[in-house]
Structure 1
Amino acid sequence: MEGIDHRMVSVNGITLHIAEKGPKEGPVVLLLHGFPDLWYTWRHQITGLSSLGYRAVAPDLRGCGDSDSPESFSDYTYLKVVGDLIALLDSVAGDQEKVFLVGHDWGAIMGWFLCLFRPEKIKGFVCLSVPYIPRNPSVKPVQWLKAMFGDDYYVCRFQEPGKIEQEFASSDLRILLGNIFTGRPLGPAILPKNNPLGKNPNLNSKNIELPKWFSKEGLDFYASKFEKTGFLGGLNYYRALDLSWEHTAPWTGAKIQVPVKFMTGDFDTVYTTPGVKEYIHGGGFAANVPNLQEIVVIQDAGHSVNQEKPQEVTAHINDFFIKLQNKNKSF
């Protein structure tokens, strides 16, 4: 997009691609994407936040887009990915001791653990879609998800190397991505084996009907990147879940202490999964995130809330960060 700068940054033994815009002296906002996503998901926020004086920085996380993509799932643990982000902050933040953080989907999960591991680096965190759920020392996450939602739950279906990749490869990439980004499945995301991706052979990828917020140019951009990289890097995040669980044992019972604003769409598949609304609004979430300052449910929005309601999301991000800055100035 016009006016957004792109460069490669060496961090933690790999190279990350970053997109950035805004004054060099402006407060840094680090924007973290999910799966199957790229820096591009933040295009509206990069433009909007930079116009407000922030320096917006959005990396392709390891395994995604133009960043390096190690093959082994063991290279995608929380410790390694957060290590990338800490090194990236050292590179882009300059003299700023703390930065603002925004995360969506997997980017939200990595944001939570960046706040947990290095809270002194974060002024405030705006989390989209995925609330913080503390580590359960009694059961590994994949086992727990399988018990809760069954073998066809998408995280469980992603575990076997090569299997879901074959299913993705047999699908029309543009239809697959279009369905993922614009679909609004309610409740837990299930991929039944007899129709794993909702494939319809009668669909024509050249004539996909897209909502107004997701353009053909956007779909073309995503398709061009995943045609080149495939999905292995993104899938490895799911395959490293149990290993990350082992590595994070020292943080069992730890709470998030940085100031947090949580946002989600009312049709988000995470938000509509059984038990999640009760956790978010019933006090459990706030107990684990003592500095949770606001919960916002954006109406008529799904999982891709930052793309579906870009101006509203950007305004909420800016409002939270302004409040934090004004609060700090008052002391």
Structure 2
Amino acid sequence: MEGIDHRMVSVNGITMHIAEKGPKEGPVVLLLHGFPDLWYTWRHQICGLSSLGYRAVAPDLRGYGDSDSPESFSEYTCLNVVGDLVALLDSVAGDQEKVFLVGHDWGAIIGWFLCLFRPEKIKGFVCLSVPYRSRNPLVKPVQGFKAVFGDDYYICRFQEPGKTEAEIASADPRIFLRNLFTGRSLGPPILPKDNPFGENPNPNSENIELPEWFSKKDLDFYVSKFEKTGFTGGLNYYRAMDLNWELTTPWTGAKVQVPVKFMTGDFDMVYTTPGMKEYIHGGGFSADVPTLQEIVVIEDAGHFVNQEKPQEVTAHINDFFTKLQDNNKSF
């Protein structure tokens, strides 16, 4: 997109691609994407926030886009990825001791880890879609998901290396990406063992009209990148979940201690998963995140709320960060 600069940065033993825009002296906003996504998910926020005086920085996380993709899932733990981001901030933040943080989906999860591990680096965190939940010391994540949602829950299905990649290839990656970005399926996401992504899709499916917020140009961009990289890098984040659980034992019971604003779409598959609304609105979320300032549910929006409602999301981000700067609160 016009005016967005792109460059490669050496961080934590890998080369990372970043997209950035805004005045060099402006407060840095680090924008973290999820699965299966790229820096591109923040295209509207990069332009909107930079016009308000922020320096917006959106990386392709390791395993995605033009960034390096280590082979083993053991190189996609929260420690690896947070290490990438700490090194990135050292490179782009200059004299700024703290930065603003925004994360969606896996970017939100990594954002929570960054807030836990290095809270002194974060002024405030806007989290989209995935709330923080304290580590359960008794049950590994994948085991817990199987117990609650069954073996066909999407995270459980993603665990076997190579299997999901082959299923996506059989279904056609273009159709997979289009359906994922524009679908409105409510949670929990369940993948049937047979034909989970729709093998041998209807040849006329390309003629299905895309929503106004997601153009053919947008879809073409995603397809071009994932045709080059494949999906293994992104799937490796899920395959490292139990390893994350082992590595974060010292943070059992830890509370997030940076100011937080949470946003979600009312049709988000995470928000509509059984028990999630009760956790978010019933006090469990605020108990785990005592610095939670605000919860916003955006109407008529699905999982990719930052793309579906870009102006509304950008305004909410700016409103929160402006209040933090004006109040100069210390938590």
Q: Which residue is 1:67 aligned to? A: 67
**By how many angstroms is 1:194 displaced?**
1.8
Distance in 2, Cα, partners of 1:318 & 1:143: 39
Q: Which residue is 2:289 aligned to? A: 289
CA contact (8 A) 1:172 1:205 kept: no
Q: Which residue is 2:180 aligned to? A: 180
CA contact (8 A) 2:171 2:201 kept: no
Aligned residue identity for 2:148: M
Q: Which residue is 1:232 aligned to? A: 232
**By how many angstroms is 1:215 displaced?**
0.4
**By how many angstroms is 1:203 displaced?**
4.0
Aligned residue identity for 1:196: P
**By how many angstroms is 1:173 displaced?**
1.7
| Structure 1 residues 203-222: aligned runs within 5 Å | 203-204=203-204, 206-222=206-222
Distance in 2, Cα, partners of 1:139 & 1:206: 43
Distance in 2, Cα, partners of 1:163 & 1:23: 44
Distance in 2, Cα, partners of 1:203 & 1:259: 49
TM superposition score normalised by structure 2 = 0.98
Report the 3-state secondary structure (helix = DSSP H, G, I; strand = E; otherwise coil) of the residue aligned with 1:196: coil
**By how many angstroms is 1:44 displaced?**
0.1
Q: Deviations over 1:236-267 (max 9, x none)?
A: 00000001100000000000010000000000
CA contact (8 A) 1:27 1:99 kept: yes
CA contact (8 A) 1:261 1:295 kept: yes
CA contact (8 A) 2:60 2:66 kept: yes
Q: Which residue is 1:110 aligned to? A: 110
Q: Deviations over 1:79-110 (max 9, x none)?
A: 11000001000000000000000000000000
Q: Deviations over 1:256-303 (max 9, x none)?
A: 010000000000000000000000000000000001000000000000
Distance in 1, Cα, partners of 2:181 & 2:187: 16
Change in Cα spacing, 1:193 to 1:328, as seen in structure 2 (3 Å) is: same
Distance in 2, Cα, partners of 1:168 & 1:324: 43
TM superposition score normalised by structure 1 = 0.98
Aligned residue identity for 2:183: G
- Quick check: 1:162 aligned with 2:162? yes
| Structure 1 residues 187-206: aligned runs within 5 Å | 187-199=187-199, 201-204=201-204, 206=206
**By how many angstroms is 1:207 displaced?**
2.0
Q: Deviations over 1:49-80 (max 9, x none)?
A: 00000000000000000000001000000011
- Quick check: 1:325 aligned with 2:325? yes
**By how many angstroms is 1:329 displaced?**
7.9
Percentage of identical aligned residues: 85
CA contact (8 A) 2:5 2:19 kept: yes
Q: Which residue is 1:250 aligned to? A: 250
Report the 3-state secondary structure (helix = DSSP H, G, I; strand = E; otherwise coil) of the residue aligned with 2:88: helix
**By how many angstroms is 1:184 displaced?**
1.0
Distance in 1, Cα, partners of 2:202 & 2:327: 56
Runs (5+) with no aligned partner, structure 1: none
Report runs of 4+ in structure 1 exceeding 3 Å deviation: 203-206
Distance in 2, Cα, partners of 1:145 & 1:66: 32
**By how many angstroms is 1:206 displaced?**
3.6
Moved more, 55-64 or 181-190: 181-190
Q: Which residue is 1:131 aligned to? A: 131
CA contact (8 A) 2:8 2:17 kept: yes
Q: Which residue is 2:97 aligned to? A: 97
Aligned residue identity for 1:192: P
Aligned residue identity for 2:221: F
| Structure 1 residues 272-311: aligned runs within 5 Å | 272-311=272-311
Report the 3-state secondary structure (helix = DSSP H, G, I; strand = E; otherwise coil) of the residue aligned with 1:127: strand
CA contact (8 A) 1:137 1:249 kept: yes
Q: Which residue is 1:7 aligned to? A: 7
Distance in 2, Cα, partners of 1:272 & 1:182: 16
Q: Deviations over 1:144-172 (max 9, x none)?
A: 00111111100000001111111011112
Aligned residue identity for 2:106: W
Distance in 1, Cα, partners of 2:24 & 2:320: 21
Distance in 1, Cα, partners of 2:254 & 2:261: 19
Change in Cα spacing, 1:208 to 1:199, as seen in structure 2 (3 Å) is: farther
Aligned residue identity for 1:129: S
Distance in 1, Cα, partners of 2:206 & 2:273: 33
Report the 3-state secondary structure (helix = DSSP H, G, I; strand = E; otherwise coil) of the residue aligned with 2:18: strand
Aligned residue identity for 1:173: P
Distance in 1, Cα, partners of 2:195 & 2:171: 11
